[in-house]
Structure 1
Amino acid sequence: MSPPASPPGPYSPLHEPCRRAHVRRCMCVRRSSCLLAGYTVFYLLYVALGAWVFSYLEQPAEQRLQQRLEEDVRTFLASYNCVPEERLDILLQHVIRANNRGVSASKNISSGPNWSFGQSFFFSTTVVTTIGYGHVTPLSEAGKIFCLVFALIGIPMTLVLLTAFVERLMVPSTVALQWLGLRLGHVWQPFSIRMVHLTVVGTLVVSFFFLVPAGIFYHIEGDWTFLDSLYYCFISLTTVGLGDYIPGDSPGQTNRPIYKLAITGYLLVGLVMMMWLLTVFAEIPQLNLGIWFLHQSDETTSDPEKMRLSGPAIGLPNYSAQSGSLKTPSADRSTEQSQASSPDKGTPTHGRR
């Protein structure tokens, strides 16, 4: 009677597939971690380069402005000897502090109350859209507390609203992409077709939400150049919101409440268009660079639930790297149904008669 077989050891051939899978997973983790670390270093170098360029470009202008201001103060003190320099310095500090809170001491610059309904509506929109120009801020303690609660609830609500509009826009956008695939699929690769689609969407967004509004602001705002207007549109729709250019705050502005409401509508619609453009960009697999920083293993493709969660959105065309064609979920379902209804399903080719 032969002795019972001993369990396979750690280096048994039965464990070789598991060991290879473990090695592959470790290599994937190491590779993605190295790529992420390298990208982080590149990002920090990019930010440092931007800081150096801003410092190089802006320091001379700041020094010239500082010298001009000091000359104006000396001229004022020389003309009015009865004003002590210390008292003037205290007055300037109060003026600067009030100006940083959105209150101007000059009657020629002041454009009316900052907390009228039109101005407040504009401020509320900049808060919930995270643009946050910063030129007007709550002054009272109760206003600061309400701003915290208002932003905490309003920002998610705004995100839901903008996402819902973008999903509606993706329906005709996907139809247009499918039409391009039918017309140009026999000539161009799917990546080229998606790039044409992205170029068309980008051209529409840039033309109607950057260039055209910039021209309108250039004609309405008397002291803005076209570059200033284009700069404001970009800073606002990218939610950077520096606050150095605010439309409707120039003295003598006619129909200011209506103008502010129109700007609020432009910001909301423009943010939807920007999110639409970014969504179309993210739908191109070859441009989704974030995939290189993720840990991917064979478990992702073997788990149907993970495949469903990581797959494309419902109703959007899917790019098949194996077939090299654009596929839609409806086409996949029709293919599966045809295969399921076929009597030869599962029958090998060499076994058919």
Structure 2
Amino acid sequence: MPYLTVCNRQLSWTLPLVLGYLFYLLLGALVFQLLEKQAEAKTRDQFQMEKLKFLQNYTCLDRQALEQFVQVIMEAWEKGVNPEGNSTNPSNWDFSNSFFFAGTVVTTVGYGNLAPSTVPGQVFCVFYALFGVPLNLAFLNQLGKGLTIHLMNLERWVHKPGRAQVVQTLTMGFFLMVGTLLFLVFPPMIFSYVEGWSYGEGFYFTFITLSTIGFGDYVAQILISIIYQCTEVWQQSGLFLA
């Protein structure tokens, strides 16, 4: 167990770590409450006003009937059914959406916009994740080893005798810049353009996805659309059976 030395005395890190962890959670709870509670109350008031307007326009309905209908909509939404449109809407569990969901499972992103509702589907999801998450980690580990080999070769080239310190510094700065552009600058720009989001929303989505937090409040529908179009091409070409 690691210890902290203070005045020639060894103290355990356990208690400070636990207290620091709890403090961090309490601080986060306080800040999120201050930032989000007022906006939530405003949205709730607007929704209540819309319900009152609806009742005033359609006097044949009473409040209880409206609340029951809202409950039906909420239950449909929780089960992944889009209440808009009619029964001809595309299925949430066609191949493209299922493929996208499988990717969110093995990468532990788990957006939450789609989840199995049947017992067999939930049981399969557990075992699929049980083997899929380690497989994904092994794939990323192998990919990291390959990148490390190339970086080590580059490092040996940079640190050859006679290479100026300026070249080494510029090389490191170049890779930091390229990494920042590839992961934190270009993706938000692309998502904001394609999905119609602001740059801040695109940056938020990119970070939440890369960190595998995956709240699910923003989901890139264009990716699902591309997969769907690919499956349509496969079906038409006979390479994939519907």
Q: Contact 1:101–1:135 at 8 Å: present in 2 too? A: no
Offset of residue 137 of structure 1: 0.6
Structure 2 unaligned blocks of 5 or more: 232-242
Residue number among 17, 27, 46 corresponding to 1:39 in the alignment: 17
**What is the aligned-residue RMSD (CA, Å)?**
3.1
The reply to whether residue 231 of structure 1 matches residue 214 of structure 2 is no
Contact 2:3–2:13 (CA<8 Å) still a contact in 1? no
- Corresponding position of 1:133: 111
Q: Residue 44 of structure 1: CA displacement?
A: 2.4
Aligned match for 1:217, one of 191, 203, 215: 191
- 1:151 is matched with which residue: 129, 132, 155? 129
Number of the residue aligned with 2:217: 244
> Following TM superposition, by how much is the alpha carbon of 1:174 offset from its aligned partner in structure 2, in angstroms?
1.8
Q: 1:51 to 1:180 in 2, by over 3 A?
A: farther
Rate the CA distance shift 1:168–1:42 in 2: closer, same or farther, 3 A. same
How many percent identity over aligned positions?
Answer: 29
The runs of 5 or more residues in structure 1 that have no matched partner are 1-25, 261-353
Q: Is the 8 A contact 2:195 2:222 kept in 1?
A: no
* Length-normalised TM-score, structure 2: 0.81
Which is greater in Rg? 1
Taking the aligned partners of 1:45 and 1:182, their CA distance within structure 2 comes to 48
In structure 2, how many angstroms separate the alpha carbons of the residues matched to 1:225 and 1:180?
A: 40
Contact residue 79 and residue 117 of structure 2 kept, 8 A: yes
Q: CA deviation at 1:77?
A: 0.7
CA-to-partner distance for each residue in 1:269-301, whole Å, 9 max, x for gaps? xxxxxxxxxxxxxxxxxxxxxxxxxxxxxxxxx
User: Could you list the per-position Cα deviations for residues 33-68 of structure 1 after superposition, in whole angstroms to 9, with x for gaps in the alignment?
Assistant: 533432332232222212111110000100000000
Q: Name the aligned partner's letter for residue 119 of structure 2.
A: E
State whether residues 111 and 249 of structure 1, in contact with CA within 8 Å, keep that contact through their aligned partners in structure 2.
no
Deviation at residue 213 of structure 1 after TM alignment: 1.7
Q: Which residue of 1 aligns with 2:234?
A: none
2:239 aligned residue: none
**Quick one: distance in 2 between partners of 1:106 and 1:76?**
17
Could you list the per-position Cα deviations for residues 174-196 of structure 1 after superposition, in whole angstroms to 9, with x for gaps in the alignment?
223334444698869xxxx79x7
1:74 counterpart (52, 63, 83): 52
Change (3 A) 1:64 1:221: same
* Shift in alpha-carbon separation, 1:184–1:40, aligned structure 2, 3 A: farther
Distance across 2 between alignment mates of 1:209 and 1:258: 26
Change (3 A) 1:205 1:30: closer
- Are residues 1:91 and 2:64 paired? no
Residue identity matched to 2:188: A
Farther-moved stretch of structure 1 (172-181 vs 124-133)? 172-181
Aligned equivalent of 2:154, options 143, 168, 176 = 176
Following TM superposition, by how much is the alpha carbon of 1:125 offset from its aligned partner in structure 2, in angstroms? 0.3
Indicate yes or no: 2:99 matched with 1:121: yes
- Once the two structures are superposed, the pairs formed by residues 1-353 of structure 1 within 5 Å of their partners are 29=3, 31=5, 34-107=12-85, 112-182=90-160, 197=172, 200-222=174-196, 224-248=197-221, 255=226, 257-258=228-229
